Chain A
């Protein structure tokens, strides 16, 4: 059997049999404590500093960022964004309570649907679990209320990010995720809109994922 053959070949090469119990225990304890490696100093800032760094880094990677003071401002901000880019005023929101609670009824110009993105989806609104200041990266876990499809299928991706969830490092964001439950089926780290440099090493935005990434940072949310 291949499994036995591969493991035996590795052990033969390393000139030992299966690891002794004490060594296995040490490695198991390393897995349990999953120690952090070196974390760059760049993101180690207070919350306003992390928000500012996140914004700079995300914009550097061709995302756009808007800062909003309250959930009531979201519908008008989205309507204005879509109008400015001459995009259809339709929006599919991931079926998450935090997104369904947004008072869209006040902005009737927007056509809202809640659910999973359809093949020809123009724009989706998703909820980031965390933002990582270090590189302006969003962390989006999968789940019944946050389908992965909505992150990648639409032409335009709008992401709501509560400011308080902006962490210094990837490690901090994964700690938050580990605290919630077991690892979700899919966890995406997203840094900017889709792109390719496959044609003559020249960067072009809008490959197979969203052509635009617009991040709505919502202040004062815990």
Chain B
């Protein structure tokens, strides 16, 4: 379940104690990292492609207004309609109006994080329209009333028995004594169930991985084929997307595609990469009769020109969360935000405000792994640091942390005293803990030692050791 954004600390503690989640995390984490590395080892040009991908996104963002206007004009020229939406509320209203005008009662949905961001499903349901998630992971989450815990593997936190339980409960029309021998049996059952939905839906809603300005094209990347059935079979196709997805040309898109799948799932190319441009043409025998692009801002335009502009490069591959030690320990739900992990920690305060999302940029060890695997080289740790600064400036951090920092600052401004104090502490802790090398409990640090051990210092401080070595060298 999506937990409260403000309760991040409590969520994290309960996630660490959740055995099912920990089993899922133990399975997923090495899997993603290994597959990504294997794909990169096969492509000598990967590092150069990362730089090229970064440059394409930087070029686009520097001229975002220009490319958005070119994109919109091209969509209209192909017979589609663009709906510019400043807020989540605007976007929900635009989708509803399209549905009502076209007499839509049921919609199939391809996987889309932007529709999660605007909480589209409950809104459509409240207005008498039935949304059906068709990505396998999103489908089971809809059956269970849960939200995604990962931006590309939304149900990775579930184990096989959870799938079986949900399918038995929700597919009550099928024989109760059926046996799920393998995972494939679950997949086959979902395929059968969703087939009729694909064939009868009035509208299909997809996201977009990229929008191509030169041609007014939306691009989706999937492995299951659900996105293509969603955007091909119903009479209305609605693309719910956001302004930073635009890139200038097909060639630019191809460069980004070369880093996307490799960074995400470790595939060289996803199974289906589909370019859609407007509604069906005069002589076509299939394809939607209406094509709409709902273009969401929701705080993104305000990132242009700020220290957070780099975040607009994000192509939502999830490599940052797949390699993050914090995400790896607590999973996605604990973040309480739509976008979890390092990219979520940077993006969420922009969408929800630093007042409610202030804890997320603190959920980092600053190990730098996220930045090192990012296909568009977003300096994620630095951006989290910027948020921490803003949080501190606005006095949003807790009093104990502020006093602690004030005391530390007082010492730090007095180098001789600081060195003496840290040296005494290091030596003291080293003496006390040298037998075990760690502490399972420390005074004033029980919040730390409750969930992990505190390492005992090896001996003297860095400064003292450095000074001693310099002295020895000079002699």
Please give the residue numbers on chain A whose beta carbons come within 8 Å of chain B beta carbons, in ascending order.
1-3, 5-7, 9-15, 18-19, 23-24, 27, 30-31, 34-38, 40-42, 57, 61, 115-116, 119, 135, 137, 142-144, 147-149, 151-153, 169-171, 174, 183-202, 204, 206-210
Contacts and interface: CB of A to CB of B under 8 A. Distances in A.
Contacts of A6: 68, 84, 86, 243, 295, 297, 301
A7 B71 CA distance: 13
B194 interface: yes
Given A9-B301, A196-B224, A185 B280 contact: yes
The 7 A-B pairs with the shortest beta carbon distances in the complex, nearest first, are A209-B225, A13-B304, A13-B305, A207-B224, A9-B301, A37-B255, A198-B137
Interface string B35-79: 000000001110011001000100000111111111010000010
B304 A14 contact: yes
A123 to B, nearest CB: 16
B365 interface: no
Interface stretch (B119-127, B266-274, B333-341, B372-380): B266-274
A183 B64 contact: no
Interface string B198-226: 11000000000000011101000001111
A137 B195 CA distance: 26
Contact of A40 (B69, B134, B258): B258
Contacts of B153: 197-198, 201
Nearest to A151: B228
10 contacts: A7-B69, A19-B63, A42-B43, A142-B287, A184-B281, A200-B160, A206-B188, A207-B223, A207-B226, A209-B229
A194 B160 contact: no
Contacts of A10: 64-65, 68, 243, 301, 304
By size class, the interface of chain B is 35 or more
A5 B301 CA distance: 9
A57 B42 CA distance: 12
Contacts of B273: 188-189, 191
Contacts of A40: 43-45, 49, 258
Interface string B230-262: 001100000000010000111110110110000
A9 B309 CA distance: 13
B453 interface: no
A183 B275 contact: yes
A169 B305 CA distance: 36
B106 interface: no
Contact of B272 (A116, A147, A189): A189
A188 B274 contact: yes
Contacts of A35: 249, 251
Contact of B194 (A135, A149, A169, A208): A208
Given A34-B249, A37-B56, A198-B135, A189 B303 contact: no
A200 B347 CA distance: 27
B136 A13 contact: no
A147 B284 contact: yes
A18 B252 CA distance: 23
Contacts of A142: 284, 286-287
A196 B187 contact: yes
B52 A38 contact: yes
Contacts of B147: none
Nearest to B90: A2
Nearest to B213: A31
B153 to A, nearest CB: 7
A9 B214 contact: no
B225 A184 contact: no
B279 interface: yes
A138 to B, nearest CB: 11
Nearest to A6: B297
A15 B251 contact: no
B183 A200 contact: yes
Given A7-B69, A199-B186, A37 B52 contact: yes
A147 B269 contact: no
Nearest to A202: B183
B66 A19 contact: yes
Nearest to A17: B65
A56 B255 CA distance: 22
B70 to A, nearest CB: 7
Contacts of B159: 200
A9 B302 contact: yes
Given A13-B304, A206-B188, A207-B136, 10 more contacts: A6-B84, A11-B65, A19-B65, A27-B66, A37-B252, A40-B258, A144-B283, A183-B275, A196-B224, A197-B265
Contacts of A38: 45, 48-49, 52, 255
A21 B63 CA distance: 13
Given A199-B187, A201-B31, A206-B188, A148 B287 contact: yes
Given A2-B297, A171-B254, A209-B229, A191 B271 contact: yes
A198 B162 CA distance: 13
Contact of A201 (B28, B44, B188, B277): B28
Given A196-B223, A201-B153, A186 B232 contact: yes
A7 B246 CA distance: 14
Given A195-B271, A196-B223, A9 B84 contact: no
Given A6-B243, A149-B232, A204 B183 contact: yes
